[in-house]
Amino acid sequence: MTAVARVIVDVPSRETDRTFDYLIPDRLSGWVEIGTRVAVPFGGRTLQGIVTGLGADAEVELARMKPLEDVLDAITPLSSELVQLGVWMSKRWLCPLTIALQAMLPAALKGRAEKYVFPAEGAEWSDEETAQSGGLLHALRKGQPLKLSGLLQHYPEHGDLLRRWLLDGRLEERQKVEDRLSVKTVQTVFPSDAETLKRAVAELPARAHKQREVLAYLADQPEPIGVQRLAEAVSTTPSTIRSLAERGWIDIRAVTEDRDPYADRDFPVSLPMQLTPAQAAALLPINDALEQRSNEVFLLHGVTGSGKTEVYLQAIQRCMESGREAIVLVPEIALTPQMVERFKSRFGARVAVLHSRLSQGERYDEWRKIREGRAQVAVGARSAIFAPFSKIGLIVIDEEHETSYKQEESPKYHARDVAVERARLHGAVVVLGSATPSLETYQAAVDGGRPKYIAMPERVADRPLPGVRIVDMREELKLGNRAMFSRELAEALRDRLDRNEQTVLLLNRRGYATFVMCRSCGYTAACPHCEISLTYHRGSHNLRCHYCGYAEAEPKVCPSCESPHIRFFGTGTQKVEEALAEAFPGIRVIRMDVDTTTEKGSHEKWLTQFRERRADVLLGTQMVAKGLDFPYVTLVGVLAADAALRLPDFRASERTFQLLTQVAGRAGRHELPGEVIIQTYDPEHVSIDSVRGHDYKGFVTKELHVRRQLGYPPYGRLIAITLSHESVPMLLSVGEQFAMRIREKAAALGISSDFTEPGRAALEVLGPVSSPIARLKDRYRFQCMVKYRGDVDASFLASQVLQEMGDAVKRGGLQVSVDVDPQMML
């Protein structure tokens, strides 16, 4: 009987998406379990892999089996539950298992094989060769194996020499899987007992003053202390301390240290607040489910300012009291210091925070805090759903409708769906919170009873929802107002300036000007690789492609007709800022968009400034719409409310309604009442009109009706298959085949392609059509859309066809990407 590990190797392709068997050598037995990260020999190289199973026997003959090379972590990074979740994900979103597993590991643990080169036993080189190698041989013969990548960087002209000697066997190569990053260690002094220190003082040479000082300091404060800090404390250098260690009087060891990104911050302690009756009523069924340990899902539909966060906090409290852990997902954009503070204040050091602004190292340390049981609550963006807890009791998804929960790269998972599955595996409770639930979630609650629906229709402390006025910009134009601000908005702004209150302005766009257009001939500048409008960047005076990074200089005349009337179109936050300064001299504006918030900590800096009322207006794109809570904001203005309505995406209406409702919710959250003014060219549109009465139900009812008619989610489901290649005819023919084969398979199963008969299972394949991004990085893109409803396993059909056509696709050099339940149609 042999101990065998089944390993998923880190090669993300369809052919290798299965386990490979390896012998577990004696020296590693006891270290290998499900979820262990290992280094394995695979087809002549060394790769990282994850153990997904253990067996007493192999599936292949013994002779073909190789032993595991190494175990990469002392603590297995993935639990068997996470491995199981990965298997589920790979089926659900049709991705290789290794991709799903990789998504669960912090970036620091994405190991790569490094090649090391060293001289073979007894290898000889002539003097001539040594001279020719220009120091390369000398470096190699020092003894330490050297990194191949480093050698090639150092001696780029001697790559062929290296290769020749590797081939003739005088040099050998060895591979090792290395993490991108290790834990941070600090050289730490461990003082000996007082007795020893006293003896040391006696035995030191008379002139060793500094060393005596160090010993005196340690005698006084016998806690372990970092070498660097100790040196500073007695104003000397680390070498003094090291000589003490050499004499054996003290002990210096490397100690791992956490990079706590919030180390220098004090969070005031916050105690649970007195709940309003509505909050208490909402909390009750959640607590019941926690008590019963039943795998329940709730939709907490609470208007903006209704106090959802306090409900989360108290549910988490209850969860932790029962010895279980909690995960809180927040959209990346709303993961503001304000939000973090609320959790840190309530739960202190038991909170781990995971978001993209952390460095790789900081993220890794927060991750380890969870894995090693030092944190019980994880707050973070999408990927925090994989927090390596072992007994989860509660998962909260705040703003569950947010698109950022869907990952747009493989694995194209939706964190909301992962949460529900992970909660099932743990017997945990899920709370989906939102003021504007996604139509999918709402419809499932109303028609299916899961999630269970909980409503909080009022703001706390009887504060009213802000009044909303819609301004028809067409009328403004008729009356001769060509300005960016309607008279109503300008007046309201003036009023706020007079009263020293604050305003949030939302512009539904980014950049100074979105595209360049010639007024004479209609020419627009587009990327030669991607067929995407180029964006004008004011700082660098050039035009850039947001997809591939292509850049060219700002044109002075039209490249097509040579007219000088080429000008910048569209409105960006910079332009609005200028208009504000002109209309309201002396106005203090904070502009927040991708350009002003890329720097680490800048986001926080701006918001603090605004909170301290050092500005009158907070102007920005989507990022000013979410989760912000400022007492003196009494006016919210929306410029170009309908900009996003024109996008070719069936969710455009839903997104617009959600965005407008969210931003409206920033006004009047405290003592002072709020007001919202929305400027639009399409005031009758449901998405805009419904915001006026804060009429979520009115909006969903109408929108759901449309969705049902068209068979779109939540009444049908979609799978987008995108093919890309340099040649259009190739794409068309393979795309056609894809569509045909899926249709044939569905027909063979007796699935109708007729969507008109209500309730009946149906499937149709749309396309292939040129994808909305028709060309990307010199490759054309075509897509097929599988639309289906009812009891149809369309993912399985698609994966079968994908497998059958695998050969044709590979030989043709096509790239295929599958998006199950796509969120973005662009």
Is residue 174 at the binding interface for DNA, with CB under 7 A as the rule? no
Nearest of 454, 447, 503, 525 to residue 701 by alpha carbon: 447
Determine the interface stretch with DNA among 15-23, 176-184, 465-473, 615-623 (rule: CB under 7 A). Answer: 15-23
∠ CA 821-822-824, nearest 5°, is 155
Residue 41 or 145 having the CB closest to DNA: 41
Is residue 42 at the binding interface for DNA, with CB under 7 A as the rule? yes
Nearest of 617, 635, 624, 632 to residue 675 by alpha carbon: 635
Is residue 65 at the binding interface for DNA, with CB under 7 A as the rule? yes
Calculate the dihedral angle through the C-alpha atoms of 629, 633, 635, 641, rounding to the nearest 10 degrees. -30
Is residue 440 at the binding interface for DNA, with CB under 7 A as the rule? no
Residue 784 counted as an annotated binding residue: no
Q: What is the DSSP string of 102-127?
A: HHHS-GGG--EEEEEEEEPTT----H
Residue 57 or 491 having the CB closest to DNA: 57
Is residue 16 at the binding interface for DNA, with CB under 7 A as the rule? yes
Determine the Cα–Cα distance for residues 634 and 747; give it in Å rounded to an integer. 58
Q: How far is the CB of 816 from DNA (least distance, A)?
A: 10
* Strand ranges across the sheet with 467-472: 467-472, 675-680, 633-639, 502-507, 617-620, 589-592
Determine the interface stretch with DNA among 9-17, 666-674, 692-700, 717-725 (rule: CB under 7 A). Answer: 9-17
Q: How far is the CB of 149 from DNA (least distance, A)?
A: 12
Is residue 256 at the binding interface for DNA, with CB under 7 A as the rule? no
Residue 43 or 205 having the CB closest to DNA: 43
Quick check: 85 and 134 in contact, CB under 8 A? no
Q: How far is the CB of 120 from DNA (least distance, A)?
A: 16
Residue 530 counted as an annotated binding residue: yes
The residues that bridge with 471 in the sheet, in sequence order, are 679
Residue 95 counted as an annotated binding residue: no
- The pair of structure tokens assigned to 233 is 């404390």
Name the amino acid, one letter, at 34. Answer: I
Is residue 711 at the binding interface for DNA, with CB under 7 A as the rule? no
Is residue 157 at the binding interface for DNA, with CB under 7 A as the rule? no
Is residue 20 at the binding interface for DNA, with CB under 7 A as the rule? yes
Q: How far is the CB of 65 from DNA (least distance, A)?
A: 4
Q: How far is the CB of 807 from DNA (least distance, A)?
A: 8
- The pair of structure tokens assigned to 266 is 């004090």
Q: How far is the CB of 508 from DNA (least distance, A)?
A: 38
| Total chain residues near DNA (CB under 7 A) | 22
Residue 11 or 87 having the CB closest to DNA: 11
Residue 521 counted as an annotated binding residue: yes
Determine the Cα–Cα distance for residues 145 and 382; give it in Å rounded to an integer. 41
Q: How far is the CB of 815 from DNA (least distance, A)?
A: 8
SS3 597: coil
Choice from 31, 41, 424, 490 touching DNA (CB under 7 A): 41
Residue 43 or 758 having the CB closest to DNA: 43
Residue 15 or 462 having the CB closest to DNA: 15
- The pair of structure tokens assigned to 469 is 């006025």
Is residue 291 at the binding interface for DNA, with CB under 7 A as the rule? no
Choice from 45, 141, 199, 705 touching DNA (CB under 7 A): 45
Q: What is the DSSP string of 15-47?
A: TT-S-EEEE--GGGTTT--TT-EEEEEETTEEE
Q: What is the residue whose two structure tokens read 């595996």?
A: 425
Choice from 58, 152, 183, 652 touching DNA (CB under 7 A): 58
Determine the Cα–Cα distance for residues 172 and 166; give it in Å rounded to an integer. 6
Choice from 2, 25, 66, 138 touching DNA (CB under 7 A): 66
What distances in angstroms separate CA 286 from CA 300, 318, 461, 524, 800, one per listed residue? 10, 10, 22, 55, 41
Determine the Cα–Cα distance for residues 723 and 717; give it in Å rounded to an integer. 20
Q: How far is the CB of 7 from DNA (least distance, A)?
A: 8
Is residue 13 at the binding interface for DNA, with CB under 7 A as the rule? yes
Q: How far is the CB of 160 from DNA (least distance, A)?
A: 8
Is residue 15 at the binding interface for DNA, with CB under 7 A as the rule? yes
Quick check: 634 and 809 in contact, CB under 8 A? no
- The pair of structure tokens assigned to 565 is 């009337």
Is residue 22 at the binding interface for DNA, with CB under 7 A as the rule? yes
* Strand ranges across the sheet with 762-776: 762-776, 779-789, 717-725, 815-820
Q: What is the residue whose two structure tokens read 């680490």?
A: 600
Choice from 1, 26, 44, 791 touching DNA (CB under 7 A): 44
Helix or strand holding residue 727 (H, E): none
Choice from 27, 29, 60, 232 touching DNA (CB under 7 A): 60
User: Phi, psi (5° rounding) for residue 497?
Assistant: -65, -45
Residue 149 or 182 having the CB closest to DNA: 149
Residue 39 or 470 having the CB closest to DNA: 39
Choice from 21, 81, 616, 821 touching DNA (CB under 7 A): 21
Q: How far is the CB of 121 from DNA (least distance, A)?
A: 21
Is residue 48 at the binding interface for DNA, with CB under 7 A as the rule? no
Is residue 811 at the binding interface for DNA, with CB under 7 A as the rule? yes
Residue 20 or 93 having the CB closest to DNA: 20
User: Phi, psi (5° rounding) for residue 329?
Assistant: -100, 135
Rg (the chain; Cα; Å): 31
Residue 319 counted as an annotated binding residue: no
Helix or strand holding residue 770 (H, E): strand 762-776
Residue 127 or 157 having the CB closest to DNA: 157
Q: How far is the CB of 141 from DNA (least distance, A)?
A: 24
Is residue 253 at the binding interface for DNA, with CB under 7 A as the rule? no
Residue 34 or 431 having the CB closest to DNA: 34
The residues that bridge with 162 in the sheet, in sequence order, are none
Q: What is the DSSP string of 664-701?
A: HTTSS-SSS--EEEEEES-TTSHHHHHHHTT-HHHHHH
SS3 406: strand
Nearest of 766, 756, 678 to residue 722 by alpha carbon: 766
Is residue 343 at the binding interface for DNA, with CB under 7 A as the rule? no
Calculate the dihedral angle through the C-alpha atoms of 189, 190, 191, 193, rounding to the nearest 10 degrees. -170
Choice from 26, 56, 64, 263 touching DNA (CB under 7 A): 64
Is residue 43 at the binding interface for DNA, with CB under 7 A as the rule? yes
∠ CA 603-606-610, nearest 5°, is 135
Determine the interface stretch with DNA among 36-44, 356-364, 498-506, 750-758 (rule: CB under 7 A). Answer: 36-44
Determine the interface stretch with DNA among 55-63, 270-278, 516-524, 770-778 (rule: CB under 7 A). Answer: 55-63
Residue 527 counted as an annotated binding residue: yes
Residue 158 or 369 having the CB closest to DNA: 158
Is residue 55 at the binding interface for DNA, with CB under 7 A as the rule? no
Calculate the dihedral angle through the C-alpha atoms of 716, 721, 722, 725, rounding to the nearest 10 degrees. -160
Determine the Cα–Cα distance for residues 623 and 762; give it in Å rounded to an integer. 39
Is residue 593 at the binding interface for DNA, with CB under 7 A as the rule? no
Determine the interface stretch with DNA among 53-61, 251-259, 408-416, 560-568 (rule: CB under 7 A). Answer: 53-61
Is residue 169 at the binding interface for DNA, with CB under 7 A as the rule? no
Is residue 482 at the binding interface for DNA, with CB under 7 A as the rule? no
Is residue 165 at the binding interface for DNA, with CB under 7 A as the rule? no
Scanning 693-821, the segments in alpha helix (DSSP H) are 696-710, 728-748, 794-804, 806-812
Residue 8 or 470 having the CB closest to DNA: 8
Residue 45, by phi and psi: left (phi above 0), alpha (psi -120 to 50) or beta? Answer: beta
Q: What is the residue whose two structure tokens read 């759903």?
A: 385
State the residues that interact with DNA by CB under 7 A: 11-13, 15-16, 20-23, 40-45, 58-60, 64-66, 811
- Binding site as annotated, residues for Zn(2+): 518, 521, 527, 530, 545, 548, 558, 561
